[in-house]
Every structure is written in C-alpha cells, then in structure tokens.
Chain A
C-alpha cells in the first residue's frame, strides 16, 4: 500500500535524527509497523535498514515534525485556543465509584473506572495499557486488555516510557472498538498515524491521555536502584509528591528523589504536551487529593462517555476548581 506521506523521510533519518540523537520518546509507534525496529528495555533501535527511503515510521514519530495547530484542527475541528491546557470542554475532579478499583489505582482510578465501564457497555472491546514484564523487574510492558480483570491488573502509573503503541497494529486486528491510553507523545503519534491511515480513527473508540511531566529512563533508574538495593525483588515504584518509593517483596523502601529526577529521558525536556492535548479525555493527579483525579474533557465522545459513566454510577465527578 502506498501511503500519502508529507515528510519524505524514512528509517535512516529516524535513526540518525531521533534514535541516535537521544530524542526518542519511546512511544512505540514505529515498532509495530515492521520487523526492522526493535525495543529492549525501552530503548528503540533500527535493527537493519529496510531499504525504503521514506516511511510511516518517520512520518508518525512524535519527535519528528509536529504541527500541533493542524492536528488540533483535525481532531477537534477548531484551532488551538487554550495554550496551557489545550482544547477542552470541561474539567472535573473525578474518581471511580468502585472502592476496589480505587484501592488498586494510583489516585482516583478514573482511567480504570472509565475503561471498565466502557467495556461493560460495549463502547470499547479492548484497551492498550501497560502491565509489568515477567522477565525484568520494574519494566512496564504493553498489554491489550480485553476483560475487566485485565484492565484492573494494569491499574496504577508507570513512570518509565512503556512503548505501548508497539501493539497498536496487532490490537487493531483483534478489536473493532479499541481504547488507547497513553502519554502525550503517544497520543500525538496515534493522531499522526490516523492522518496517514484514516481507517484507524474509525477503529479507535476512545483515546485517554495521561498527564506526563517526564518519564524516567528505565536503564538509568534500574542501575541507580541496583546500586542501592536488591532490585530484582522490586515490584513497582511510585512517585507521590516529590518522594520516591520502591515496593519490594519485603515491604517498601524510600529513596532520595532529587538524584532520580536527573534520570529522566532527555527528550522529555523538549515536550510541551503535559496534559495530552489531543486525547478525548485527559487524566492525571490533582496534586493534593490522593483519591481523586483531574479529568479534562476534550471531545464530544469523551464528554458522552463521562456523562454516561456518571449517570451509570461508575464515575464520581466534582467541580473543578473545587467550590467554583
């Protein structure tokens, strides 16, 4: 199939300008396209030149040319007016109505709650999420969740850059109404992909973007932790308000957060899409109420889902800012 591409660059340029330059955000968008890209421990490499001079891999890379105005127009049908939060219709404090979800979730369980509700109501038939690798401790791994249990198993934040879009193409083969949850860079890549292949937008029923200030470099954080503890026993780690907590088989251990901040991916410093502006819904922490999330409603279908989930008693909403 010939694609209509605008950047006229291919894997060689992607390797030179993005991968070797340390700009890769680890979104995973290029990984599912062909066998020539590999990822290991969140580092993407071009395994072999495929021989093509231009390709989708370069075209859809969020760190290649990103025309946010144009994307905004295409996703929302209007120009980008709010340069802080992006195009949106409403902002809420939100939490899942289910205590069991909240118990597993990072904060209010809004994402897990919305997805389980959407799956129950057949609004979606699967979701691209992140779980943990069975081979390497603390390494997130893309998961296509098609049951409530699988969605719940992926609850809680991962702080490194899981390349979850790696499974987009294989997931589209399984699902007709796919939900994608990702960081800003991943939502950007997904929207860019949809421009090249409009059929994908018909098959993606929901895009939930996560607030993301930066992602840690998995390899760096791993070796940092390895110097201070038996990292093989670590199950997960968490970053609650400028603290860094590692959960191990024998309980939790808190580490000095300041040096860890320096272990973020350099490419994240170039990102201005803190709230995932191109998503249907954006979700993040409130930074002061532990069992609630901030929820930004952007598109009509996002709004519709939130309203349904609220009336279906799956989601609790409060005004934002509180008392406004």
Chain B
C-alpha cells in the first residue's frame, strides 16, 4: 500500500508536497475530488484517484479545470467536502465561476489547490495566481513546507465550511515537487450524507457583494490569530524578513547561515489573503527595515505596503520596505521574474545588511569546478521516441512545403507545443493557452484577401479541454482551416492521465470513449482519421 494512505497516525514519513496535500484531504475526510492535470499539480489528483478505492471518495479527471471546480462546487452544494487541484493556467479557466461562487457561497468545504510554476519550468507563463484570490475576494493560504501544506488543506476545509466560501491554497513547484517529513494524522470515517435542502440555493448576484465582504472580514479576523502566520526570532529585531511560501523556509536558512539569528526576525505569512493587518502592524511597527521575499509577483509586498500606508495615516511609525518594486530583491533575470532561491535571499541580505556569506568549502568548489568543466552537452526539446507527433509534424511540414502557399501552422498547448522548436521544425506560429489555436484560426480562416492556408492543431486532451466552442464557431461562421487533432492517446505531457477519448477513467476503469472523430462529424465537419506514421504526406495536404 502507498505509505501516504497509512493509518498509523503520529508516524512521520517522507512525502512529496503534492502527496501531503492529498493526505491532508484524506485526513479531512474528503468526499469528492476532480481535477485536470497540469504540472506541477498533477500528483495531487493522481494520489487521490489511487486513494479512492481505499477511502471510497469520488475521484475524476475532468475535461478541464472549470468543469472540475464546478463539479466540486456541486458536491459542496450537497454538503460534501471536495477538493480540486490545477496549475496556474488552469485557475484562469476557472476564473469565471470563481467570481460568482464567491457571491453565492458554498456549503460543504471546497478547497482549490493551485500549484504555480515560478520560472515556468513546464508552463507558458509564470503568472502569480494569488492575484485571483484577491480579485475574487477568497481566502488564500500559502504553505512553506509539505508538512504545512497538509495542515493547511485540513484547515481549509474547516474554514470553507465556517465562512461558506471556497478556500484557495497556493502551492509552487518547490512545495508540490519537494519532499519533506510529514507527520500523519487521523483518517476519519466519511459520514456526510449528500442532500440539498429547500433553502440550499447558490445564486451569484451583485446584491450579495456585501455578504462577501462580511465573510472576508470574518476570514481576516481568523487569520489575525492563525498559526500559519508566525513571527520567529527576537521580538525587537530592527530587521525583519517577511516571507511567504518556500521563501519563508529559504529566509530562515539564510538568516541562520549568515549568523543573523539574534538580530533578524522572520515574519512568516502563511494565511496571506485577506492580509491580517493587526498581526502585521504589531510585528513590523517596531522594525527599522523589512525585506519581503516571495514568488513571483510582489503580492505580499504590495499588501504590506497598503497596511503600512494605513499605519502611517494612523500615526504609527513604519519601517522601510525592501522588495521587488524597488528592485532590491531580484534574481538573475530581474525583480519579479523567476523562482526565489536561498541564493537570492543571501545576496539581498548581504547587500542590504552588509552581511558576508560564508565562503564555500574547498570540497564544494572542487566539485563545482568538475561539474562545470565536464560540460554536459546541451539537449534540445524532443518528442519521445515512438510518439506519433514526430510523424505528424513531418507530414505537416512536407504538406506545407509542397503546397508552397506559405501555409501557417497555428500551434496549441501540449507536447506538440514543441512544434515551436526544432523537433517540430519550428512550424508552430503560436503558443498561448489551451484551445487557442482553433480560436486564432477562426480569425485567420475568415480574412478576405488572406490566401495562406491555415492549419490549427490541438492534442487529444486539449480537444476536450477547450476546443469544442472554437470548433463549433468555425463550422458556424465557415472559417476556412484544416484542424488537426494530434492524438497520442492520453494527456501525455503531464504524465499520460486518461481523458474522455481513452476509454479509461481516473480509477483505471473502462468507460465508453467519447470519440474525437464522432464529435467532429456530429458537428457536420468533414473528418478523417489517419495514422501519421502511414500517411503519404501529399495525401494529408491542406487544401
């Protein structure tokens, strides 16, 4: 059995952050989980799907994040506890309903885990999804270790049920994919019975905006006393580091390494939105200077500055704040860009406080020299051996070349995103968000005087995720294009999770597949299914 599902409470085991999040949901007695995969979040639902057979909760891979979240809200409406997980791009897909469900409120606990990808290791952006929490006025928690992530999930369910709002937990790659000691808690029996009472109505309406504000204030009051917000170090420290997420752990490490423990305080903000004003003022008003560390945007920094501005107006002395806005805290590519790291924190502390870093040991320097001089060859992105996408791009390249009308390939998100690189002959002209290719082609395919043939592509999972409205629109408005669904039988880039076309569900059970070609045919679109490894390029040509 997966040790993540162990019943031995009190035992400490090494867990990936995403597993800890899943464990947290199990310890909260979760009833329902739905998700669409996306790095670095995918293992949360993979673990919950695996757990489903043991614990009996519903677990599904939904077609997209919005459907997944709405399904979770559905479970909540019936009084059950539900959790959804996604990457930062996924939260954008959810955004629409997020800004009405906040008004209507929910019933059973709803937790939305978003795992951000600072540095964009496997994303088309590195957006900071915390701003969604602020925009939708929803409670936000930011774990700084896997252990804390588990605790936050349990707390989030309770909070969600107390204030009748979904709670957002913002993880990042270095939490989700990091491993740490996690102490197992009790696994309660699930006893909730789903039911919708006569008064269970969930109507999003601006009339309810004051109610939302009331709830936000309730959350804020709770966050003022939250154990996730802590001040560590000497109370009268002149220098305070305010940090959230893994940056808090980095900061503690850096302070200790620089020998600054007795003169630097660390204000760890885990329950970060709405910002607990009194807690913040009580700890920062005594300091002379504050350094703010977080990933990616200056979210905490801005919130602190707003609180400090309010303090100034009330005649409270405030410290100088060093952060990304002033360019004081930045990585190699600039402030507010890329991941935070202990090195950046070392360098910033050294520059601002004049502290010196300990020199590296001889052994480290020798190993570093060896590694640098070894000069590993650079590696290009490439499709996996045997993937039909290789053949598909070859066929498309050949067809476009032979056709010789400067046809354009409008790319989309998935493994075939690599169509922008050498492995796809640099064919793709666009790389944006899921389903964007068919959308863009609705424009390009309807331009009078534009004679270049348009080929839009999408993957099999992307097809179900967000291509259907664009496809109907193309049919309806007669956009001229060839739409190619590159089917490699799974949501491949995130780890081959099943999708509606695979005939398997999240639990590995066989289900009736939703066939791509039948969906297209049903829309009245001329459709043919071809094997790119067998097709003669000239026959696959765009007309």
Task: Determine the distance from Cα of A262 to Cα of B541 in the docked complex, in whole angstroms.
Answer: 27
Contact B539 A135 (CB under 8 A): yes
- Tally chain B residues at the interface, Cβ within 8 Å: 8
A43 at interface, CB cutoff 8 A: yes
Task: Determine the distance from Cα of A229 to Cα of B541 in the docked complex, in whole angstroms.
Answer: 23
Q: How close is A19's CB to chain B, nearest CB, in angstroms? A: 9
Task: Determine the distance from Cα of A45 to Cα of B537 in the docked complex, in whole angstroms.
Answer: 14
Task: Determine the distance from Cα of A99 to Cα of B539 in the docked complex, in whole angstroms.
Answer: 39
Contact A40 B539 (CB under 8 A): no
> For residue A47, which residues in chain B have a CB less than 8 angstroms away from its CB?
398, 401-402
Q: Name which residue of chain B comes closest to A38, CB basis.
A: B402
- Tally chain A residues at the interface, Cβ within 8 Å: 8
B538 at interface, CB cutoff 8 A: yes
Q: Mark A16-42, 1 if CB is under 8 A from B, else 0.
A: 000000000000000000000011110
Q: Mark B379-408, 1 if CB is under 8 A from A, else 0.
A: 000000000000000000010011110000
Contact B402 A43 (CB under 8 A): yes
Q: Name which residue of chain A comes closest to B403, CB basis.
A: A40
Contact B538 A135 (CB under 8 A): yes
> For residue A43, which residues in chain B have a CB less than 8 angstroms away from its CB?
402, 404
> For residue A45, which residues in chain B have a CB less than 8 angstroms away from its CB?
401-402, 404
Q: Which positions 87-145 of chain A face chain B at CB distance < 8 Å?
A: 135
> For residue B541, which residues in chain A have a CB less than 8 angstroms away from its CB?
40
Q: Name which residue of chain A comes closest to B538, CB basis.
A: A40
Task: Determine the distance from Cα of A287 to Cα of B148 in the docked complex, in whole angstroms.
Answer: 94
Task: Determine the distance from Cα of A39 to Cα of B404 in the docked complex, in whole angstroms.
Answer: 10
Most buried by A among B403, B404, B538, B539: B404
Task: Determine the distance from Cα of A45 to Cα of B541 in the docked complex, in whole angstroms.
Answer: 15
Task: Determine the distance from Cα of A38 to Cα of B536 in the docked complex, in whole angstroms.
Answer: 13
Task: Determine the distance from Cα of A43 to Cα of B400 in the docked complex, in whole angstroms.
Answer: 12
Task: Determine the distance from Cα of A39 to Cα of B402 in the docked complex, in whole angstroms.
Answer: 6
Contact B398 A38 (CB under 8 A): yes
Contact B539 A38 (CB under 8 A): no
Task: Determine the distance from Cα of A41 to Cα of B401 in the docked complex, in whole angstroms.
Answer: 12
Task: Determine the distance from Cα of A45 to Cα of B398 in the docked complex, in whole angstroms.
Answer: 10
Task: Determine the distance from Cα of A45 to Cα of B402 in the docked complex, in whole angstroms.
Answer: 6
Q: How close is A145's CB to chain B, nearest CB, in angstroms? A: 23
> For residue B404, which residues in chain A have a CB less than 8 angstroms away from its CB?
40, 43, 45
> For residue A40, which residues in chain B have a CB less than 8 angstroms away from its CB?
402-404, 538, 541
Task: Determine the distance from Cα of A45 to Cα of B539 in the docked complex, in whole angstroms.
Answer: 17
> For residue A41, which residues in chain B have a CB less than 8 angstroms away from its CB?
402
> For residue A135, which residues in chain B have a CB less than 8 angstroms away from its CB?
538-539
Task: Determine the distance from Cα of A38 to Cα of B401 in the docked complex, in whole angstroms.
Answer: 8
Task: Determine the distance from Cα of A50 to Cα of B425 in the docked complex, in whole angstroms.
Answer: 15
Task: Determine the distance from Cα of A39 to Cα of B398 in the docked complex, in whole angstroms.
Answer: 10
Q: Name which residue of chain A comes closest to B541, CB basis.
A: A40
Q: Name which residue of chain A comes closest to B399, CB basis.
A: A40
Task: Determine the distance from Cα of A38 to Cα of B395 in the docked complex, in whole angstroms.
Answer: 13
Most buried by B among A40, A45, A135: A40
Task: Determine the distance from Cα of A43 to Cα of B398 in the docked complex, in whole angstroms.
Answer: 13
Q: How close is A45's CB to chain B, nearest CB, in angstroms? A: 5
Q: How close is B470's CB to chain A, nearest CB, in angstroms? A: 28
Task: Determine the distance from Cα of A213 to Cα of B403 in the docked complex, in whole angstroms.
Answer: 26
Q: Name which residue of chain A comes closest to B402, CB basis.
A: A40
Task: Determine the distance from Cα of A267 to Cα of B15 in the docked complex, in whole angstroms.
Answer: 71
Task: Determine the distance from Cα of A47 to Cα of B403 in the docked complex, in whole angstroms.
Answer: 11
> For residue B402, which residues in chain A have a CB less than 8 angstroms away from its CB?
38-41, 43, 45, 47
Task: Determine the distance from Cα of A39 to Cα of B538 in the docked complex, in whole angstroms.
Answer: 10
Q: Which positions 27-75 of chain A face chain B at CB distance < 8 Å?
A: 38-41, 43, 45, 47
> For residue B398, which residues in chain A have a CB less than 8 angstroms away from its CB?
38, 47
> For residue B539, which residues in chain A have a CB less than 8 angstroms away from its CB?
135
> For residue B401, which residues in chain A have a CB less than 8 angstroms away from its CB?
38, 45, 47
Task: Determine the distance from Cα of A273 to Cα of B35 in the docked complex, in whole angstroms.
Answer: 71
Q: Name which residue of chain B comes closest to A47, CB basis.
A: B401
Task: Determine the distance from Cα of A108 to Cα of B398 in the docked complex, in whole angstroms.
Answer: 41
Task: Determine the distance from Cα of A47 to Cα of B399 in the docked complex, in whole angstroms.
Answer: 10
Q: How close is B451's CB to chain A, nearest CB, in angstroms? A: 12
Task: Determine the distance from Cα of A43 to Cα of B407 in the docked complex, in whole angstroms.
Answer: 15
Task: Determine the distance from Cα of A40 to Cα of B543 in the docked complex, in whole angstroms.
Answer: 12
Task: Determine the distance from Cα of A288 to Cα of B403 in the docked complex, in whole angstroms.
Answer: 40
Q: Mark B125-168, 1 if CB is under 8 A from A, else 0.
A: 00000000000000000000000000000000000000000000
Task: Determine the distance from Cα of A40 to Cα of B397 in the docked complex, in whole angstroms.
Answer: 13
Q: How close is B393's CB to chain A, nearest CB, in angstroms? A: 13
Instruction: Show 20 A/B contacts (Cβ-Cβ < 8 Å), sorted by A.
Output: A38-B398, A38-B401, A38-B402, A39-B402, A40-B402, A40-B403, A40-B404, A40-B538, A40-B541, A41-B402, A43-B402, A43-B404, A45-B401, A45-B402, A45-B404, A47-B398, A47-B401, A47-B402, A135-B538, A135-B539
Binding site for A on B (CB under 8 A): 398, 401-404, 538-539, 541
Please name the 9 residue pairs, one residue from A and one from B, whose CB atoms are nearest each other, closest first: A40-B402, A38-B402, A43-B404, A45-B404, A45-B401, A47-B401, A40-B538, A45-B402, A38-B401
Q: 17 extra interchain contacts, Cβ-Cβ under 8 A, other than A40-B538, A135-B539? A: A38-B401, A38-B402, A39-B402, A40-B402, A40-B403, A40-B404, A40-B541, A41-B402, A43-B402, A43-B404, A45-B401, A45-B402, A45-B404, A47-B398, A47-B401, A47-B402, A135-B538
